[in-house]
Amino acid sequence: MRVAQLFDLHGQTAVVTGGSRGLGLQIAQALGEQGARVLLVARKQAELEQACAALREAGVQDADWLAADLGAEEGVAACADGAMARLGKVDILVNNAGATWGAPAQDYPLAAWDKVMNLNLRSVFLLSQALGRAMIAQRHGRIINIASIAGLAGNAPDTMKTLAYNTSKAGLINFTRALAAEWGQYGVTVNALAPGFFPSRMTQGVLQQYGAEALSRHAPLQRLGDEDDLKGAALLFASAAGKHITGQVLAVDGGVSAVLA
């Protein structure tokens, strides 16, 4: 098979949660440019409509959206049912929707802990389970979980205090490995991307506090992630080019994880 064919996604369908902006929208654009039918999922209809318009402007014509609150069990069910109804099948699932909350561990609110865990981990399990049943039946599927290098270690003193976020992303990393081990026999691959620092709505507070230059100094490549840096890695895991890769975690972080103590 020629290399261009390995990365071709024509005839494939993809669900991208948290797809209305940021990393999710970046990944959705990459999948759509390679020919996949893309369904964006997020909570806010207006942002989803804007995201689909942006994709069309970028040349991705086959993009649709579905509003659902994945932090609630009924929202996950609505997402799974809606995806199957709209697309007929799901070949690629990108679990990108996530949340964070900053507070010292000794004062961490239980409600905040539950919110982060429900969206970052529980909803991923429920949606993967629901759509994974169809993938098992069709003997083909690609699940891509968006973890974080925050799941590989704690935070340095006097920096972010995000205990639930770090814990949830560490759980997501091993969820990826465990699910890959179970579902490989059905032709379903499960991998994770672990981004470093990317400017986004979720990270804007940290960016304002520390500044882009200071954050860049922590990376061997001396830069932050940009609007293209997840595209190639996501395509590898989503396409036939990655058909023999499962249970893996790829850090896309400018080298930060290579120097973590």
pLDDT of residue 203: 63
Active-site choice (108, 165, 186, 210): 165
Q: Tell me which amino acid residue 109 is.
A: P
pLDDT of residue 86: 96
Does 208 have pLDDT greater than 90? Answer: no
Does 79 have pLDDT greater than 60? Answer: yes
Q: Where residue 261 falls among pLDDT bands split at 50, 70, 90?
A: low
pLDDT of residue 165: 96
Task: Identify whether 165 is a catalytic site residue.
Answer: yes
CB 25 within 8 A of CB 56: no
> Model confidence over 139-194: pLDDT tens digits?
999 999 999 999 999 888 877 799 999 999 999 999 999 999 999 999 999 999 99
The pTM of the full predicted model, rounded to 2 decimals, is 0.95
Q: What is the rounded average pLDDT for all residues in the chain?
A: 94
Mean pLDDT (whole number) for 209-229: 83
Distance CA 147, CA 151 (A): 7
Structure tokens at 195: 């981004």
pLDDT of residue 199: 76
Distance CA 91, CA 143 (A): 8
CB 13 within 8 A of CB 92: yes
| Size (the chain), residues | 261
Around Cβ 212, how many Cβ atoms within 10 Å? 13
Residue position matching structure tokens 């948290």: 18
> Which residue in 71, 42, 77 sits closest to 63, CA to CA?
42
> Which residue in 144, 142, 147 sits closest to 173, CA to CA?
147
pLDDT of residue 205: 64
Alpha helix segments (H runs only) across the chain? 3-6, 22-33, 45-57, 73-87, 110-117, 123-138, 163-183, 204-210, 212-216, 231-238
Sequence-distant (≥ 6) Cβ neighbours of residue 104 within 8 angstroms:
161
> Which residue in 136, 15, 167, 28 sits closest to 78, CA to CA?
15
Ordered structural domains, the chain, with CATH:
3-104+116-205+219-254 (3.40.50.720)
Distance CA 94, CA 234 (A): 9
> Model confidence over 4-39: pLDDT tens digits?
999 999 999 999 999 999 999 999 999 999 999 999
pLDDT of residue 115: 97
pLDDT of residue 216: 80
Does 244 have pLDDT greater than 70? Answer: yes
> Model confidence over 85-143: pLDDT tens digits?
999 999 999 999 999 999 999 999 999 999 999 999 999 999 999 999 999 999 999 99
- DSSP codes joined into one string, 82-104: HHHHHHSS-SEEEE-------B-
